[in-house]
Structure 1
Amino acid sequence: MSPRSSRRRHLVLGGLVSTALVTPLLAASPAQAAPCRLGSNRHASCNKTIHEPGGGGSGGPSGGGGGPSGPVEPPAPVGLDPNQGVGVAPVPGGNAAPPAAAPATADLVAQAQASAVFPVPVVHTAPKGKTFVRLRTSLWVDGFDTVRTNPITVGAQTIQLTGAPATVTWNLGEATKTCKDAGSENGRTCDYIYQRSSAGQPGGAYQVTATITWDVTWTCGGDDCDEPGGNLGPNAVTSQASPLVVGEIQTTTGQ
C-alpha cells in the first residue's frame, strides 16, 4: 500500500470514530426549541407548565410550586362524628339537651292566684235608699258565689283554685255587722236597726259598703305535683259605697 493510500485510510477511520463519539452527545443535548410566544395567556410558560394564580411558583420559599410540601390529610367523613372514630355512625339523640325540669307546684299556684277574678259585691237594702231610725232594715248582696279558676296544666300538673264565700261584713256608717250569708230582702238572716239619723253625715246619708270574704283553696292533680293541695287563706273584695239616708219618724201626741 502506498503512503498516500495509508494516510487516506487513517483519515476515514478517524472520521468514523469522531462521528460515533459526537452523535450520543448530540442526542443527550436538548434540541433547539422553536421561538415561544405567550400571547394573551400571562400565566403560561414556554415549558408548557401552567402556573395557577396565587401559587408560589419558582420564586417561592421552597423553590418549587405553590402546593403543600407534605402529604395532605384526607377530609373528615361527612355525617360522621369525629369523636366516635372514622366509620362509626353517630348515636341518635346523643347531643340532645336534657329534658327541662318540671316547674314547682308553688309557682303554678301563684300563677293561678294572680289570674283569679272574684266578683265585686253589689249592695241592696230594704227600704231602698232611705230608711228610718228604729226600723229594721234588710241587707243583702249580689256576688256571694263560689269562684273557680280555669285549670292550669303544665306537664303532668293541673292546678285549680276554689274560693268559697264565707262572710259578708257590712260597714253601715253608724256601725259594722258581719253576716254568714248573702242576706235577703226579707231580712231574716241579715238586717240592721239604725239608732241615729244620717242628718249630720256628708250629703245627709250614710255610705254603706259590703265586703265578701272568700276562703281560697287549691288542688293539684298529676304525677309532677309536689303537694295535692292547700289553703291560701281569705280573699276579701269590697263593694262600691251606696248612700243610705236614715231619717227620724216624727210623732205628735194630742193634748
Structure 2
Amino acid sequence: MLTRRLLAIGAGLALLLVGTPVLAANPNGGAECPPGQTTCHAWGGGPGTPGNPGGGGNTGGGNSGGGGNRKCYDQGQEIPCYDDVLGWWNPSDGCRYKLAEPQGSDVPAGKTRYWRSCAGGGMGSFEPVLRDSPPAGFEAPPSPGDVARRLLTTIEMKRPVISTAPSATGAGLVGLPVWLWIDPGQAYWGPIVAEAEEQGVYVRLETKAHKIVWDLGDGSDPVVCTNPGERYTPAKASQRPPCGRSSGYQKSSRNQPGGRFTVTATTYWDVQWWSGTMTDTFEDQERTNSVSVQIDELQVVTG
C-alpha cells in the first residue's frame, strides 16, 4: 500500500524534498545546528529515545505536528513530527522513517526494514534500509491489538429490543407457551464489520451476537438461545417457540412487585479482528435490556 502511494506522488515527492539540508550528527543524540543557526531543537529540547521519542501522548498523524506536547524542528522551523506518507522525523540525520509493511521474507533475523526519505546532493531520496533498532525520533506504530481495541469502541452494539408473547401490554396464563424474540437487525444481532488504519497498521474487525440469555424473572433456569427468536403470530399457536419456553410459567406473577415478572435479555457478542496474517479475539461484549409481563392463573369455573 505504501509503495503504491509513493509511486502516485512520484515527482512531487522529489520536489518537496529538494533543498532540505541534512543535519550533522550529534554524538550525544539530537542534531547539531547548521552553520549560523542558533535555534536548533529536536523534540522540543531533546531527542527522544529509539522507539519512544519523548513526550508520550498522541502518536500523531498527518500534519498534526506530532503527538502530545512534542515538537520537531528543521533548521529552526517547526515541522510535523509525523507525516502520513513519509513517517517520523529523525533529527539526527534529517530524514524521515516509516516502518515497511509488509516486512518481506528477505529481512534477516534481528533486522527491521524501514522506508527512509532524505534530501541530499540536491535531490530527494527514498529507499529501504535495514536497521537493528528504530532510528532516533522514531515512534513505533501501534500494535494491531491496540488499533482493534480502539476500533471496537466506535462500534454501536445496541441493547436488545425485547418482544414477548404474552406481550408486555397484555396478560398470559400459567402453563401456556412463552415466545421470546428481539429485533434481528444488524445493530442488535450483527454482523457488524469495521476497518481502521493507524500509521500503516490496518485492522479489520467483525462482531456478531452468538447467543441471548433470557431470565424470565420467576427463579427458573434461564433460557439460552443461539438465534434472535421468531415473532409470534396466532397462526403459530400450535408450534414450539424457536426461542422461549414451551411449558410456560409455572406460577402466577401476583406476588411479584407490581404483580409482574421482570424478563431480562442479555446478548453476547463475539469480537474477532484481523491484521495481515494475525488474528485474535476479545472477550464477549454484553448488552442487556428488560421488560415485564403479567402472568395469571387459569380460573376454572365449576357449576
Question: How high is the TM-score relative to the length of structure 1?
Answer: 0.57
Aligned AA for 1:150? A
Contact 2:177 2:241 in 1 (8 A): no
Partners of 1:118 and 1:206 in 2: how far apart?
Answer: 26
Instruction: Decide which structure has greater strand share.
Output: 2
In the alignment, what sits opposite 1:248? Answer: 297
Give runs of ≥4 in structure 1 deviating > 4 Å.
79-84
> For the Cα contact (< 8 Å) 1:217–1:233, is it kept in 2?
no
Contact 1:125 1:137 in 2 (8 A): yes
Map 1:48-197 onto structure 2 (within 5 A). 94-96=93-95, 98-99=97-98, 100=138, 101-129=140-168, 130-143=171-184, 144-174=188-218, 175=220, 176-186=222-232, 188-192=241-245, 193-197=248-252
Q: For residues 132 and 168 of structure 1, what CA distance do their matches in structure 2 show?
A: 24
The code of the aligned residue for 1:201 comes to Q
Q: CA 1:243–1:102 in structure 2 vs 1: closer, same or farther (change >3 Å)?
A: same
1:212 corresponds to 2:211: no
Q: Specify whether residues 205 and 112 from structure 1 end up closer, same or farther in structure 2 by C-alpha distance, changes over 3 A only.
A: same
TM-score (norm 2): 0.49
* In 2: Cα distance, 1:82 partner to 1:242 partner: 69
**Aligned pairs for 1:217-228 within 5 A:** 217-221=272-276, 228=278
Question: 8 Å contact 1:219–1:228 — kept in the other structure?
Answer: yes
Give the number of the structure whose alpha-carbon radius of gyration is greater.
Answer: 1
The residue identity in structure 1 corresponding to 2:265 is: A
Shift in Å, 1:94: 4.2
Once residues 185 and 171 of structure 1 are traced to their aligned partners in structure 2, the CA distance between those partners, rounded to angstroms, is 18
SS of equivalent to 1:251: coil
Cα offset, 1:185, TM superposition: 2.4
Looking at structure 2, the residues matched to 82 and 198 of structure 1 have their Cα atoms a distance apart, in angstroms, of 81
Consecutive unaligned residues of structure 1, counting only runs of 5 or more, are 1-78, 87-92, 222-226
Aligned-partner residue type, residue 134 of structure 1: G
In structure 2, what is the Cα distance between the partners aligned to 1:149 and 1:203? Answer: 42
Q: Residue 150 of structure 1: SS of its match in structure 2?
A: strand
Partner of 1:198: 253
Q: Distance in 2 between matches of 1:111 and 1:137?
A: 40
Say if 1:141 and 1:182, in contact at 8 Å, map to a contact too: yes
- State the SS of the aligned residue for 1:151: strand
Structure 1 vs Structure 2 CA RMSD: 2.9
Greater relative contact order, per chain length (Cα 8 Å cut-off, separation 6+): 1
Q: State the distance in 2 between where 1:216 and 1:83 align.
A: 49
Cα offsets for 1:135-188 (capped at 9, x unmatched): 112111114422424311123322122112111100111122111211112453
For 1:184, give the aligned amino acid: E
SS at match of 1:109: helix
Higher helix residue share: 1
Count residues in correspondence: 164
Q: 1:127 to 1:102 in 2, by over 3 A?
A: same
Runs (5+) with no aligned partner, structure 2: 1-19, 26-34, 36-91, 99-137, 233-239
In structure 2, relative to structure 1, the CA distance for the partners of 1:95 and 1:238 (3 Å cut) is: same
